[in-house]
Structure 1
Amino acid sequence: MNTLYKGALVALLALGTSSCSGFLEKEPHNALSPSTTWKTPQDVHKFLIGCYDGWTSGSTILYLDCMSDFGFNFHVHEGYRSIGNGSMTPSNPGVSFYDYSTIGRCNLLLERIKDIPFTDEAERKDIIAQAKVIRAYQYYTMNIAYGGVPIIELPQTAEAAQLPRKTEAEVRAYIAKDLDEALPDLQKSPAARGRFGKGMALALRMREALYYGDWAIAREKAKAIMDLGIYELEADYAKLFKIEGQDSKEIIAAVQYLDNTKPLYTVIGSMYNNATGGWSSLVPTPNLLNTYEMANGMTITESGSGYDPAHPFKGRDPRMAKTICYPGADYIRTDGLKAIYNSLDKTLDGKNNPDYPEAANNSSKTGLTWNKYTYPATQYTDVWSCNACPIVFRYAEVLLTLAEASNELSGPSAEVYSALDQVRRRAGLPAVDRSKYASKDKLRELIHRERSVELAGEGFRRMDIVRWKASDGKMLAEHVLNAPLERVVGTVDSRISDPTMRATIKVSATAAEKKVEDRSFKPHYRYLPIPQAVLDRNPNFGKNNPDY
């Protein structure tokens, strides 16, 4: 983040923008007097930073996969566990994505900017466009979670904000309008890291279209991003999720955090296991582990793949080790010392193993932890308050969207294979076997798997498994989330030099030995329950989602 952006953020925070957080309960401008605040373009720029300050949460991005079969959130009070196991209710919804505070800020900016004199009209249009993209992202987040919410445009009283919910299609149209209107006025390359340019508007339009099966629009927007010519894959996959990779040309948008000014609190520290001083709040699962191909490009179930269930970490897709810290792996502790990760043995050298799943509440219950954003721990001065910047959109998603949308539209093609090959070759995998993946159905299997592992831990999995269908026509979530969540069971021999061979998994482990928790997914879980507090506050909202 450049000095101008940082300075504006500091100034904005000094203005007290948190006063806008009660948008549905207070006037959104209740602590921002137009007579003292809205005078110059610089005032508008400062307030725009306040809109960016709430456009999304880095913590939320990292926790989202806990609502799927790829992640687990142990600590119930954090909210994601109940959604992951299907126990959420309107009274106890787990996490609420229902929030108009940022929308209120954007609406206020869009209203007040009309009266501010600008010497450069393009500057005004660019600010308006950025605010519309931020607003569109907020509506997208709520619409995808709840399936229709009220559309609110600068109400003057709390009562005026009590509007009935719009349909999901109406909110989608509103999002598309904002993004389409914004696109011509946005800069091709954002003025500073953390600001939005054309790529962000196109990426949001692309993802939203993909999630609803609007294949032609998803493909069109993916190609438009590629045609900008400013994004490319980072050569080193792991670098993307480190501080050193925050200026990568692969990143289209990320949540910005700054040491000492606006740090990302707690979540990075919470990702480490007990022995490293973490809380294992969000951890990967064996379901993710089993999704990775072998390094030779074969799946673990294919004959001749070389997969050994007793040594499942050997010979796998290189992204696995860059994403998951698995038993037997080398890692670096927060004190800089090298260690071997062991979550399998109950005791080590006659002492209790703090990383054993049953050792404590803050030990990983699956026996796995994330490497994304956490390796090495020494990159952060303080893992509990740091400048990690979780990625929201990146170029690999664009390539994978192009592949999926194009395949759904017309089946296998050079365009589909090329997009997949770029992602796979960066990962260190062979190109797509054209003879094996020659039909639309077979290629769809590969695209889904490739998207799953490439974007693991980045918040995509829940939406993918509710939109993808299994062979019986049901949502994939009805299969993968209607089964007990399990952990890896076995032992680690630290004397072995090869990290991938140190762990020996107990293939004969019983269901009881492996079980973490029961999970459930019913068809109506596609949409989350509207929090009861929302319905109580807005009597005009309408009914909750069906079957809640």
Structure 2
Amino acid sequence: MIGGMKKNYAWCCLILITCFVAVSSCKKAFEDKPLELLTIDYIFDENDPTGDQAFKWVTNIYSKIPTGYNRMLGGSSWAFNSNPRSNISLVPLECFSDDAVPSGDGNDGWNIIRGGYSPIATFDDTWGNCYSAIRAANIFLQNYQRVPWADSSRKVWLPNEARALRAFFYYELIRRYGGVPLLGDKIYDSNDRELLNLKRNSFEECVNYIVSELDRVKDSLRPDASLAGRATDADYGKMRKSIVLAIKAKVLLLAASPLFNPSSTPQKTFTGYAAYSAERWGAAADAAKALIDLGLYDLEANRYTLVLARANKEHIFFRMSDPRTDNVYAYYMSPPGFKPGNRNSEGRVSPTQEFVDAFPMKNGKPITDPTSGYNPANPYAGRDPRLEQTVFYNGAKWLQRPVETFEGGKDKPNDATLAAVQTKTGYYAKKFCANDSSSANFTVTFIRDGGFIPPWCLIRYADILLMYAEAKNEFSGPEATVYAAVEKIRQRAGLSPYTLPPGLTREQMREIVRNERRIELAFEEQRFWDIRRWKIAKSVYGTALHGVTVTKNANNTFSYAPKEVTTPYFTDAMYLFPIAIKETQVNPGLEQNPGY
């Protein structure tokens, strides 16, 4: 069944209660009305000109947007737990790409890496969450005009926000499953026989529907906030024209990509288009350019600003993280030898050697270039500054001491009691930690900001620039605007020179753009999806992944020897996710993805 739509009317009441029990400062005191009577009539009250409850209904749809940092299996978002050991299964999505693996032997993520998922045991099954959000949007659209809105702007903005959110959740579905059933504005109840035989729409139909909905609402949303106004805007992060344009660019880039826009063998309609079209790349480039041309966003000069400030130049679309008053993420990711406040760090994520090797030298040359200056005996010297910002490697300074990932070092002591957290690759993930190399304790990156906290960013401006460069290059080759977009990223990164060699071919620029996406957007849930939409996962992920064994020599130098860590199991079927068997059994018309 789709997102719980087979449940009876009590489902709706339960959702209503869940949505609003935790909400404080309501203009309607819940004590005046029993909770079991929180019905549609109560939410969309014909006698309430404030429309506060209807407003909160839309706010609850936002809460279904996926978060990141640590997540895996079953749901769309995961809250941090105050007991760090209870979340040991949670790792970033990049642990199922060629960028990292879980550090813990007993981590459930290893089942995913070994191919242990199917329609019976799904991986990242957001089907129900997305259709629940889509249903909630449809309920709002069907009922919002019953409210006598005193604030006429709410009457305009909120239904268009609901439509934009609905389009976003369809995007979340199609990048996992391909074509899915499009429900339009219909709200099914348990007596609808049609619900038992819903067919999947084609991928093309889904893309066209999502884009048409985004185009419909883009000029009828609350105005975009200026940079100066973002920090004090209580609704910053809610749907604006810029966010809608960003989602549209994402959708069209997905549609243009090789997985769904094959250049040779046509695929089934719900897994791609019937024939290749270069024009799809042009449409994706135009969509990204439309956002760039708004002039509302830019790159932050300091990349650490992205984890320290909610409102900044670069964040476009984000989900607010779960409230924290501590720096739990730093404990999760820091090497286990660090114990500030007498609390153990956990080093949950082990970046691969393949990922570390993707970072060029500071002069912009890849380490495979004989003229780059790369020294295998001192492999981290003179590298792209983003490496130090993203990875804990042997000798990197952290909390006033060097990281020790050499055999027997403080951060790889080969102690059986640390087997659950000790690095598998000789590296730990550092992304999203503050710049605490000289600090005595972790900086709290999840700082409250005017009642808010920093977000999990789904789309930022660097992503848009690289999306534009990718699409434009595929459509018309490496022209000047493609160079400019990529070089802007490299300049902010601190490469010198940051300029690219002139005269690059389309294929050479493609590889540069893909690598820039990998290192600039590391651990932001981009690589996982990129290697799938580019249809290269089987070659870069379904092969041996490596780390490094670091040995400390008698003269206090180090030796670095490559080692194989794992060979993930990946087949052509895995480019798409399986639809849970509970859905296909209830709905015989819902065709399963090939290979499952």
TM-score of the superposition, structure 2-length normalised?
Answer: 0.76
Closer/same/farther in 2, CA of residues 353 and 364 from structure 1, 3 Å limit = closer
Q: Secondary structure at the match of 2:101?
A: strand
Shift, 1:98, TM fit:
1.6
Distance 1:488 1:212 in 2: 38
Question: What residue is the counterpart of 1:272 in the other structure?
Answer: 334
Question: What residue is the counterpart of 1:231 in the other structure?
Answer: 297
Moved more, 183-192 or 137-146: 183-192
Distance 2:416 2:166 in 1: 42
Shift, 1:82, TM fit:
3.8
Q: Does 1:197 align with 2:240?
A: yes
Question: What residue is the counterpart of 2:432 in the other structure?
Answer: 373
Distance 1:367 1:356 in 2: 15
Question: What residue is the counterpart of 1:282 in the other structure?
Answer: 349
Question: What residue is the counterpart of 2:408 in the other structure?
Answer: 346
Question: What residue is the counterpart of 2:560 in the other structure?
Answer: 506
> What residue identity is the alignment partner of 2:367?
I
Question: What residue is the counterpart of 2:578 in the other structure?
Answer: 529
- For residues 398-413 of structure 1, what are the structure 2 equivalents within 5 Å? 398-413=464-479
Moved more, 246-255 or 157-166: 157-166
Contact persistence 2:5–2:189 (CA under 8 A): no
Contact persistence 2:397–2:403 (CA under 8 A): yes
Q: What's the % identity of the aligned pairs?
A: 27
Query: Could you tell me which of 34, 37, 40 is aligned with 2:43?
Result: 37
Shift, 1:297, TM fit:
1.0
Query: Could you tell me which of 136, 143, 148 is aligned with 1:117?
Result: 148
> What residue identity is the alignment partner of 2:149?
F
Question: What residue is the counterpart of 1:293 in the other structure?
Answer: 360
Contact persistence 1:417–1:432 (CA under 8 A): no
Distance 1:135 1:485 in 2: 38
- For residues 30-429 of structure 1, what are the structure 2 equivalents within 5 Å? 30-31=13-14, 32=16, 33-39=39-45, 40=48, 41-58=51-68, 59-60=70-71, 63-73=92-102, 80-99=109-128, 100-152=131-183, 153-157=186-190, 161-162=195-196, 163-189=198-224, 192-213=235-256, 214-240=280-306, 242=307, 244-257=308-321, 259=323, 269-276=331-338, 277-332=344-399, 338-347=400-409, 353-354=412-413, 359-375=418-434, 376=436, 378-380=442-444, 387-429=453-495
> What residue identity is the alignment partner of 1:232?
D
Moved more, 163-172 or 319-328: 163-172
Distance 2:289 2:443 in 1: 35
Contact persistence 2:412–2:422 (CA under 8 A): no
Residues 272-307 of structure 1: per-residue CA shift (max 9 Å, x gap) = 343342444434222111111110111111111111
Closer/same/farther in 2, CA of residues 232 and 199 from structure 1, 3 Å limit = same
Contact persistence 1:69–1:84 (CA under 8 A): no
Contact persistence 2:331–2:345 (CA under 8 A): yes
Q: Does 1:546 align with 2:584?
A: no
Distance 1:76 1:202 in 2: 42
Moved more, 358-367 or 391-400: 358-367
Q: Secondary structure at the match of 1:489?
A: strand
Unaligned runs of 5+ in 2: 17-38, 72-76, 78-90, 226-232, 257-279, 339-343
Question: What residue is the counterpart of 2:526 in the other structure?
Answer: 460
Residues 336-359 of structure 1: per-residue CA shift (max 9 Å, x gap) = xx33222222255xxx94577994
Q: Secondary structure at the match of 2:565?
A: strand
Q: Secondary structure at the match of 1:254?
A: strand
Q: Secondary structure at the match of 2:486?
A: helix
> What residue identity is the alignment partner of 2:218?
L
Moved more, 390-399 or 58-67: 58-67
Shift, 1:30, TM fit:
2.6
Please, what is the CA RMSD of the aligned residues?
3.1
Moved more, 212-221 or 455-464: 212-221
Closer/same/farther in 2, CA of residues 140 and 265 from structure 1, 3 Å limit = farther
> What residue identity is the alignment partner of 2:564?
K
Moved more, 74-83 or 222-231: 74-83
Contact persistence 2:491–2:498 (CA under 8 A): no
> What residue identity is the alignment partner of 1:546?
P
Residues 129-163 of structure 1: per-residue CA shift (max 9 Å, x gap) = 21122222211111111112223332122756443
Closer/same/farther in 2, CA of residues 93 and 73 from structure 1, 3 Å limit = farther
Question: What residue is the counterpart of 2:547 in the other structure?
Answer: 487
Distance 2:188 2:330 in 1: 37
TM-score of the superposition, structure 1-length normalised?
Answer: 0.82
Closer/same/farther in 2, CA of residues 353 and 371 from structure 1, 3 Å limit = closer
Contact persistence 1:143–1:149 (CA under 8 A): yes
Residues 490-515 of structure 1: per-residue CA shift (max 9 Å, x gap) = 1358998xxxxx7x3423x5xxxx23
Closer/same/farther in 2, CA of residues 493 and 194 from structure 1, 3 Å limit = farther
Distance 1:93 1:202 in 2: 31
Closer/same/farther in 2, CA of residues 431 and 48 from structure 1, 3 Å limit = farther
Residues 46-91 of structure 1: per-residue CA shift (max 9 Å, x gap) = 1111111112223448722222101223568876544444332222
Distance 1:401 1:381 in 2: 28
Contact persistence 1:327–1:344 (CA under 8 A): yes
Shift, 1:239, TM fit:
2.1
Q: Secondary structure at the match of 2:482?
A: helix
Residues 210-249 of structure 1: per-residue CA shift (max 9 Å, x gap) = 1221212221121111122211110101221x2x222111
Closer/same/farther in 2, CA of residues 339 and 132 from structure 1, 3 Å limit = farther
Unaligned runs of 5+ in 1: 1-19, 333-337, 469-474, 497-501
Moved more, 53-62 or 456-465: 53-62
> What residue identity is the alignment partner of 1:67?
F
> What residue identity is the alignment partner of 1:519?
P
